[in-house]
Amino acid sequence: MRINGNAIRPGMVIEHNGELWAAVKIQHTQPGKGGAYLQVELKNLMNGSKLNERFRSSESVERVRLDQKEHQYLYGDDDMLTFMDTETYDQTQLSTDLVGEAAVFLQDGMMVMIESYEGTPIRIELPETVTMAVTETEPTVRGQTAAASYKPAILQNGVRTMVPPFIDVNDHVVVNTADGSYAKRAEG
């Protein structure tokens, strides 16, 4: 589907120079002289390279629709991850490079969204947050207020994050899969 260059939004996938690119950031720019344009930061879905490109409203680009299918994460073996289609029970093995740094947040049985283009998996979407146990952190210091500071902690998957002072070892916390940051204390 062709769209105007100024209709690109973050998260959209477009075909540009014969390759698939995801729009990461956009910025509308209206210089004092000349026409307005859209400055778009693009990420190549095949090799991860980045590109900054300008699109004017008079230009058109091909918007690509990716096939999305929910899969269940089964296990990881070396640098390969195995997922199962919950409808057909077909298993798919994908490289950890496809998931990127967020692969450390995969948990047995976790449901993920695999996006593919013409039958080839392009990217994997993990849930926005996951619940993890804290395996190591500094002891709570009396008198510290929750808003004053955060302390370092190591989660069950080995990821370091900053948590409020009231979090102790064996507490469960909710963290963002995008950057590993603390979101909240887990309920129950």
Over 60: is that where the pLDDT of 95 sits? Answer: yes
Domain boundaries, the chain: 2-63, 67-125, 129-185
* H/E element, 97: helix 96-99
- Give mean pLDDT, residues 90-111: 88
pTM: 0.73
Q: What is the CATH number of domain 129-185?
A: 2.40.50.140
Indicate the average pLDDT of the chain: 88
pLDDT value, residue 141: 66
Confidence band, pLDDT 50/70/90 cuts, at residue 129: very high
pLDDT value, residue 132: 93
Confidence band, pLDDT 50/70/90 cuts, at residue 165: confident
pLDDT value, residue 123: 84
Confidence band, pLDDT 50/70/90 cuts, at residue 100: confident
Which amino acid would we find at residue 152?
P
Question: CB under 8 Å to 54, separation ≥6 — which residues?
Answer: 37, 38, 39, 40
Q: Encode pLDDT of 53-68 as tens digits.
A: 999 888 899 999 889 9
Q: Encode pLDDT of 141-160 as tens digits.
A: 666 555 568 889 999 989 99
- Give mean pLDDT, residues 13-30: 90
CATH level 3 topology of 67-125: OB fold (Dihydrolipoamide Acetyltransferase, E2P) (2.40.50)
Beta-strand ranges (E) seen in 30-181 are: 37-44, 50-56, 60-63, 67-77, 80-85, 91-95, 111-117, 120-125, 129-137, 151-155, 160-163, 172-176
pLDDT value, residue 188: 67
Q: ∠ CA(132), CA(104), CA(116), 5° rounding?
A: 120
Asked, colleague to colleague, whether 67-125 and 129-185 share their fold, the answer is: yes
**Distances 62 to 5, 13, 16, 89, 124 between C-alpha atoms, Å:** 9, 9, 7, 33, 22
Question: What is the β-pairing status of strands 2-4 and 60-63?
Answer: antiparallel
Q: CA 156, CA 149: separation in Å to the nearest integer?
A: 22
CATH level 3 topology of 2-63: SH3 type barrels. (2.30.30)
